[in-house]
Amino acid sequence: MRRSVLLGIDYSRALPEVREGLSFTPAQCAEFYAHLSTRSWPGELIILSTCNRSEFLLAGAAKAPSNN
């Protein structure tokens, strides 16, 4: 089973300081993706970052429930 999570902030719900802290330039996105590839990241990630909002879409396999 695959699970997806979308996290986002926009200008109407977050202070400028928060949006600035979560904004990514194209170079920062590439650096972050490279970092994840060294961490055996088991899923997929999309970062959408504009002047008014930032969104992070994460997808991956869900953990199987334990039978304990």
pTM of the predicted model, to two decimals? 0.71
Write the pLDDT tens digit of every residue in 2-21. Answer: 788 899 999 999 998 998 88
Residue 29 annotated among the catalytic residues of the structure: no
Which of 27, 51, 62, 64 is labelled catalytic?
A: 51
Mean pLDDT over residues 9-38, rounded? 88
Q: What is residue 64's predicted lDDT score, i.e. its pLDDT?
A: 59
Residue 47 in any domain: the answer is yes
Q: DSSP assignment of 2-65, as one string? A: EEEEEEEEETTTS-HHHHHHT---HHHHHHHHHHHHTTT--EEEEEEE-SSEEEEEEEEEPPPP
Tokens of 58: 């994460």
What residue numbers bound the domain in which 31 lies?
2-60
Residue 67 in any domain: the answer is no
Give the number of domains in the chain.
1
Residue 65 in any domain: the answer is no
Residue 48 in any domain: the answer is yes
Residue 9 in any domain: the answer is yes
pLDDT grade, residue 62 (50/70/90)? low
